[in-house]
Amino acid sequence: MRSFGSDNHSGVHPRIMQALFDANADHVLAYGDDPYTRQAQEALEELLQGHAFHPLFVFNGTGANVVALEACTLPFHSILCADTAHIAVDECGAPVKLTGASIKEISADDGKLTPERVTPFIHGFGFEHHSQPKVIAISQSTELGTVYTPEEVSALAALAHRHEMYLFMDGTRIANACAAVGCSLKEMTVDCGVDLFTFGGTKNGLMMGEAVVPLRPELAENLKYYRKQATQLFSKMRYLSAQFIPYIEEGLWLENARRSNAAARRLASAMATIDGVRVTRPVEANAVFFIIPREIVNALRERYFFYEWDDSIGEMRLVCSWDTSDEDIDAFIGCLRKLAIP
């Protein structure tokens, strides 16, 4: 099966699989006190030119978000995010349950927060009857496939810092954002004033694993305890961290993202040539949103799995992966074109 349903559907990059195989030798100490974890941490710190404070590896994106947000908040705080944000929509309330903080959802038709959209939610400081705003949380790239520019990130960081708040970046697809904008990881995070971010791997060629990367020392101080309490501390840590060594050192994180982004652009361009097919959003990262006549949706689903994003308008979503090939795209387009012919 070849799928455009999600970049979670793809397999593991061969170089990552080899790294796992290589790590599966001899005995090493558990819980991250091993040479693979140290090398992976050093590689990530070098990528950020020494600005990270002891990044930690966890199993998955929800775990990474929870651990990061716990480091930023107390139970009487609030977290401001877009109404499409993963932490608000797709994590079964885990951030609220484990942080105790409330989540304030902000309407954003393109998935992106702006200072103008956020400012009305920044109020009530010192008033004991209101939760206290503490975190502006953004996804990069967003759940709608859009990408923040460094200038947009910097504006949100400046707003957060004026109010003694933190800017957190959910970076499950941060590689796709960097590839889309043409900037380094440091330019997208450190240089923009981000305080804490996650560095995704699962959706970009790894078997599993994300990194939680604090950029301020006070956010790093208790991170390992939050990781343990969130059940994200892997005893055999080398199988998480070993993946990040070639992922970072050999540039796979960016290479894979460039490939999936390019595949999405090619897919969208081809879809736009088919009568009755409308690409509904700009293709900036690796997702394509589209509307097709309802009568061919079920027929297309017999061959391809994909999610319905907005049932009210019949909007669907496709996602390209690091291993999406031209042949995959041609086959999908051929199928869609046949179905679209009256």
Question: Confidence band (pLDDT; 50, 70, 90) for 295?
Answer: confident
For 316, other C-beta atoms within 10 Å of its C-beta total 20
**What percentage of the chain exceeds 70 in pLDDT?**
100
- Percent of the chain surpassing pLDDT 90: 96
User: Cα Rg for the chain, rounded, in angstroms?
Assistant: 20
- pLDDT score at 257: 98
Q: Give the pLDDT confidence score for residue 236 in this predicted structure.
A: 98
Distance from C-alpha of 18 to C-alpha of 23, rounded to nearest angstrom? 9
Cite the residue boundaries of each domain of the chain with CATH code 3.90.1150.10. 256-340
What is the CATH architecture assignment of 256-340?
A: Alpha-Beta Complex (3.90)
Mean per-residue pLDDT of the chain = 96
Q: Kindly report, residue by residue over 78-114, the tens digit of the pLDDT.
A: 999 999 999 999 999 999 999 999 999 999 999 999 9
Which is nearest to 225 in space by CA: 91, 66, 79?
66
Spatial separation of the C-alpha atoms in residues 249 and 83, rounded to whole Å: 35
In this predicted model, what pLDDT tens digit does every residue of 20-63 receive, in sequence order?
Answer: 999 999 999 999 999 999 999 999 999 999 998 999 999 999 99
State yes or no: pLDDT of 342 exceeds 70.
no
- What one-character-per-residue DSSP string does 256-301 give? HHHHHHHHHHHHHHHHTTSTT-EE-S---SSEEEEE--HHHHHHHH
Q: Whose CA is closest to 143, among 82, 228, 190, 185?
A: 82
Residues of the chain with CATH 3.40.640.10: 14-252
Q: What is the mean pLDDT of residues 313-322?
A: 96
pLDDT in tens, 223-271: 999 999 999 999 999 999 999 999 999 999 999 999 999 999 999 999 9
Terminal alpha carbon distance of the chain = 27
pLDDT over 80 at 341, yes or no = no
Instruction: Give the mean pLDDT of 150-154.
Output: 98
The pLDDT of residue 183: 97
The pLDDT score that the predictor gives to residue 340 is 87
* Contacts of range 13-18, beta carbons closer than 8 Å, 24 or more positions apart: 13/205, 13/206, 13/252, 13/256, 13/322, 13/323, 15/246, 15/250, 15/252, 16/205, 16/206, 16/207, 16/243, 16/246, 16/247, 16/252, 17/207, 18/246
Q: What count of Cα atoms within 13 Å lies in the side-chain half-sphere of residue 23?
A: 25
Write the CB contacts of 28 (distance below 8 Å, at least 6 apart in sequence): 34, 35, 36, 238
Helical axes 326-340 vs 252-271, angle rounded to 10°: 20
Fold (CATH) for 14-252: Aspartate Aminotransferase; domain 2 (3.40.640)
Q: What is the mean pLDDT of residues 164-176?
A: 98
What pLDDT, on the 0 to 100 scale, is given for residue 150? Answer: 98
Under the banding of pLDDT at 50, 70 and 90, the label for residue 207 is very high
Give dist(CA 269, CA 75) in Å, integer.
Answer: 46
Q: Cα–Cα distance between 66 and 72 in angstroms, integer?
A: 10
